Amino acid sequence: MTTTLDPSTQERVDKWLDGNYDADTKSAIKQLIDAGNTTELTDSFYRDLEFGTGGLRGVLGVGSNRMNRYTVGAATQGLCNYINATFPGQDDISVAIAHDSRRMSPEFARLVADIFSANGIKVYLFSSLRPTPELSFAIRQLGCQSGIVVTASHNPPEYNGYKVYWGDGGQVVAPHDKNIIAEVNKITSIDSIKFEGVPERIHQIDEEIDAPYIERIKSNAVNPDVIKKQADLNIVYTPIHGTGITLVPRALDALGFTNVHIVEQQATPDGNFPTVKSPNPEERAAMQLALDLANELNADLVMATDPDADRVGAGARNHHGEFELLNGNQMASLIIYYLLNAWKDAGKLTGKEFIAKTIVTTDLIDAMCQRYNVTCYNTLTGFKYIAEVIRELEGKEQFIAGGEESYGYLIGDFVRDKDAIASCAMIAELTAYAKNNGQSLFDMLMAMYQENGFYYESLVSLTKKGKSGAEEIQQMMADFRANPPKEIAGSTVVRIDDYKALTRTDASGNATAIEAGKMGIESSNVLQFFTEDGTKVSARPSGTEPKIKFYVSVREPLASKEAFDDTYAQLKAKVQRVIDDLKLS
């Protein structure tokens, strides 16, 4: 059957059919051609899979726009070239490599290891699947120059990818990110990829990294005596078929928790994620089996980690006795609230400590930091920027913790990415602390709101697919810049922050510069509107999906725990007014 493709797509198809690609790959392409599957052929070949600032991500399959041996190989060869050029004459360059439970993850990890070794680089390869944060830890522990974790985080099963890290253990940032992309783009032929591995340069790692990593997590505990008293805290945990199973139960055990129940249906690593539509702990459906078990066992706490175990979702019984899942803003705030109090009680706050979070994460954290005279640094969205702040302040200021609204948290600086293993340990500890004081985790949440104000956040995500969708998203941002709202939900807009122009404009129209190069800040297509009554709206096109995201934050005082439900209803109604006002639905 004949297929009609546009010339550039056809050129890529021909290149793959004529080049030094393996027989199975060519056969798969011919099957698509014979079936007349123009749509799949086009999607597979209409462009080269983009190596972005964080690394690579795409659908598995044959073609230049798919995750496969050749696209992964080209990206890795470009990275090797950059690393070797950055450390000229250094004969002990090394990298660490980990992978998650997804389809093709072990194979890609081995492929990447072979290419690094063929380029004269020493490789530390985890012997089996491991969480992303442990890869960050391994880079620092082993003194590596770079590292890769093969993962597509919580994307659907058909995806895979990899994230690139630098020697500080954080994901690559400027100038390395753009420089690596430039090197990757120079790989125009698979003949320049060194596929033949050098086995003596590849060293398997496991327990020699697992043990010190668990010890460092254990050292995060601020109230070990409370954990001893509440050792039988009833915990339900699910790894949702991912890497969390390797270390979350072990970390909880190391802290002394003895009553941990694993959701057995989701305990086995499986890249098809057979029990969920999406392996994302931000979605209630992904945690339903854990919630069912928690109700059956009358648990105190339920936790779930995503496939590469850098994000964690958690829930506890509310004041009505029902399990309520806490969102990323609430959990980040609770962790920081608990740690600020613990550091203050221990006399450890000297004025040189800091918290780091992203600009779209709740301002409740800023308010709490102000009360404790602790600096709160706000970065662009992405944990790599939080890692950058930690690196820049190393030896000058002390990092306590950090977080972002999308369920990622970090305690201590021995890892430089969001860490669901350490976060599960800390969430269990603060639940034990609450229980030791006759409270639930939810009681602690309400107490925090009473002390600091009830902040409520909601995310509106609008999907706009294809070329027309991308144009629509750009037009929405352009319209907001040309005609910014003067009022939102009845409250005057008193400040506008434009991170693309790097300007801050007040109610009188006076603009000052947001300094580029300030920690975690560079030009980015983000707009924020602040109103007189404390409402904040952030608009940001997604960097990885065909979406534009609006983060809405509102606040009210909470007079008492008894007033929680009424205040919560008021805040939800207020968010709805904001959504209606800005026509975001």
Domain ranges of the chain: 1-43, 47-205, 212-448, 454-582
> How far apart are alpha carbons 561 and 450 in whole angstroms?
8
Q: Which of 44, 105, 153, 440 is catalytic?
A: 153
Domains 47-205 and 454-582 share a fold: no
For the ranges 3-12, 90-99, 262-271, 399-408, the lowest mean pLDDT is seen at 3-12
Contacting residues for 491 by C-beta, under 8 A, at least 6 apart:
531, 532, 533, 535
Per-residue model confidence (pLDDT) at position 105:
98
**Looking at residues 470-487, what average pLDDT do you find?**
93
**Looking at residues 245-249, what average pLDDT do you find?**
98
64 and 16 Cβ atoms separated by less than 8 Å: yes
Closest CA to 354 of 328, 333, 331, 372: 372
For the ranges 108-112, 138-142, 453-457, 503-507, the lowest mean pLDDT is seen at 503-507
> How far apart are alpha carbons 421 and 210 in whole angstroms?
12
Per-residue model confidence (pLDDT) at position 235:
98
Going from the C-alpha of 57 to that of each of 51, 71, 150, 543, the distances in angstroms are 8, 10, 10, 12
Per-residue model confidence (pLDDT) at position 585:
79
Residue 107 neighbours by CB distance under 10 Å: 14
Res 517 pLDDT > 90 = no
pLDDT tens digits along 354-390: 999 999 999 999 999 999 999 999 999 999 999 999 9
Thinking of the domain 212-448, which architecture would CATH place it in?
A: 3-Layer(aba) Sandwich (3.40)
Res 148 pLDDT > 90 = yes
Name the fold adopted by 454-582: TATA-Binding Protein (3.30.310)
> How far apart are alpha carbons 391 and 399 in whole angstroms?
10
> How far apart are alpha carbons 510 and 266 in whole angstroms?
55
**Looking at residues 15-32, what average pLDDT do you find?**
96
Helix (H) or strand (E) holding 205, with range, is strand 202-205
Percent of the chain with pLDDT over 70: 99
The class (CATH top level) of 47-205 is: alpha beta
- pTM comes to 0.96
- Kindly state the tokens that stand for 164: 């690139």
Per-residue model confidence (pLDDT) at position 544:
66
Q: Cis omega (within 30 of 0) on the bond before 224?
A: no
Angle at alpha carbon of residue 429, lines to 217 and 361, rounded to 5°: 80
- For the question of residue 333 being annotated catalytic, the response is no
Q: Checking DSSP bridges between strand 260-262 and strand 235-238, what pairing results, if any?
A: parallel
Helices (H), 157-285: 176-185, 207-219, 224-229, 248-255
**Looking at residues 20-24, what average pLDDT do you find?**
96
Res 1 pLDDT > 50 = no
